[in-house]
Chains A and B, each alone.
Chain A
Amino acid sequence: MSKLFPTQEIGSLAKPAWRVKGYRGERLSKEEIAEALSWGRKLGIADMDTLVKLLNGRDSAEKRKAMLEWSAKYAIRFLETVGLDIVFDGEQWRSEMYEHVARNIGGFEFQGQVKSFDYRYFNKAACIRKPLYVRPFYVEEFAFTRDSAKNDVKVPFTGPYTIVDWTFNEYYEKRLHGKVADFRQKKFEAKRDFIFDLIAEVVRPEIGKLVDRGAKWIQIDEPAATTDQTDEEMKLFVESFNETVRGFNCMFSLHNCYSNYEVLAKYACELRNCSQLALEFANRDNQQLGTGSIRSGYKELTSFEDNGFTGNYGVGVIDVHTVFVEPPELVRDRILHAAKIIDDPSRTYVSTDCGLRTRTWEVSFQKLKNMVLGAELARRAF
Chain B
Amino acid sequence: MPNGVNRWISMIGCYMTGIFPRPKELISITRDYERGRTGKAELDKAFSDATLKVVEAQSSAGLNYVADGMLRWQDPLRPFTENLNGVKIGGLVRWFNNNMFYRKPVITGELSWKKRADPKIIDIEHLPKNLHWKAILPAPYTLAQLSEDNFYKDKTELVFKYARLVREQIESSVKQGFKYIQLSDPALVYKPRLAQISRDEVKIAGEALRLAIGGVSARTCLQTFFGDFCQILPEALDFPVDDLGIDFYETDIDGLKGYKFGKGIALGLVDSRGSLVEKVGELVVVAKEIIKSIEGDGVSAFFLCPNCDLEFLPWERALEKVKVVSRVAKRLREEFDE
Contact = CB atoms under 8 A, between A and B. Distances in A.
Given A228-B192, A258-B94, A117 B101 contact: yes
Given A111-B317, A112-B24, A168-B275, A117 B97 contact: no
B275 A126 contact: yes
Given A112-B317, A117-B92, A283-B91, A229 B193 contact: yes
B274 A166 contact: no
Contacts of A115: 21-22, 100, 311
A100 B286 CA distance: 38
A118 interface: yes
Interface string A101-135: 00000000001111111110110101000000000
A259 interface: yes
A263 B97 CA distance: 13
A50 interface: no
A166 B99 contact: yes
A112 B315 contact: yes
Interface residues of A, number: 39
Interface string B174-215: 000000000000000000110000000000000000000000
B284 to A, nearest CB: 16
A119 B275 contact: no
A143 to B, nearest CB: 31
B65 interface: no
A168 B276 contact: yes
A284 B33 CA distance: 27
B229 interface: no
A119 B75 CA distance: 10
Interface string A158-170: 0000000110111
Contact of A114 (B248, B250, B312): B312
B94 A259 contact: yes
Contact of A227 (B22, B98, B249): B98
A65 interface: no
Contacts of A170: 274-276
Contacts of A233: 192
24 contacts: A111-B275, A112-B24, A114-B21, A114-B100, A116-B101, A117-B100, A117-B103, A119-B34, A122-B99, A168-B275, A169-B274, A170-B275, A173-B274, A173-B276, A182-B252, A183-B249, A183-B250, A184-B249, A187-B274, A228-B192, A229-B192, A230-B192, A283-B92, A284-B91
A266 B252 CA distance: 28
B336 interface: no
A291 B22 CA distance: 43
A224 interface: yes
Contacts of A122: 99
A168 B99 contact: no
A242 B102 CA distance: 31
B314 A224 contact: no
B226 to A, nearest CB: 10
A102 B312 CA distance: 18
A174 interface: yes
A317 to B, nearest CB: 14
Interface string B83-109: 000000001111001111111000000
Contacts of A27: none
A182 B251 CA distance: 9
Contacts, number: 97
A114 B311 contact: yes
A182 B250 CA distance: 9
B48 to A, nearest CB: 17
Given A119-B74, A184-B252, 8 more contacts: A111-B275, A111-B314, A112-B317, A117-B75, A118-B34, A173-B274, A229-B193, A233-B192
Contacts of A224: 99
Nearest to A169: B274
Contacts of B335: none
Interface in A299-327: 319, 321
Interface string A225-253: 01111100100000000000000000000
Contact of A113 (B27, B91, B250, B276): B27
Contact of B248 (A113, A165, A183): A183
Contacts of A229: 97, 192-193
Contacts of B22: 115, 121
A168 B193 contact: no
Contact of A116 (B31, B100, B192): B100
A224 B248 CA distance: 23
B94 A227 contact: yes
Contacts of A95: none
Contacts of B55: none
Nearest to A126: B275
B275 A321 contact: no
A258 B317 contact: no
A303 to B, nearest CB: 13
A113 B91 CA distance: 23
Contacts of A287: none
Interface string A51-89: 000000000000000000000000000000000000000
Q: Which 6 A-B residue pairings sit nearest by Cβ, starting from the closest?
A: A112-B314, A168-B275, A117-B101, A119-B30, A229-B192, A228-B97
Contacts of A226: 94
B77 to A, nearest CB: 12
B256 interface: no
Nearest to A170: B276
B313 interface: yes
B18 to A, nearest CB: 12
Contacts of A38: none
User: Which of A184, A233, A263, A319 has the most CB atoms of chain B within a 10 A radius of its CB?
Assistant: A184
Interface string A134-175: 000000000000000000000000000000011011100110
A170 B22 CA distance: 22
User: Which of B102, B248, B276 has the most CB atoms of chain A within a 10 A radius of its CB?
Assistant: B276
Given A111-B275, A170-B275, A227-B94, A116 B317 contact: no
A121 B21 CA distance: 10
B55 to A, nearest CB: 20
A260 interface: yes
A121 B27 contact: yes
B316 interface: yes
A129 B102 CA distance: 33
Contacts of B74: 117-119
Contacts of A228: 97, 192
Contact of B102 (A112, A117, A174, A182): A117
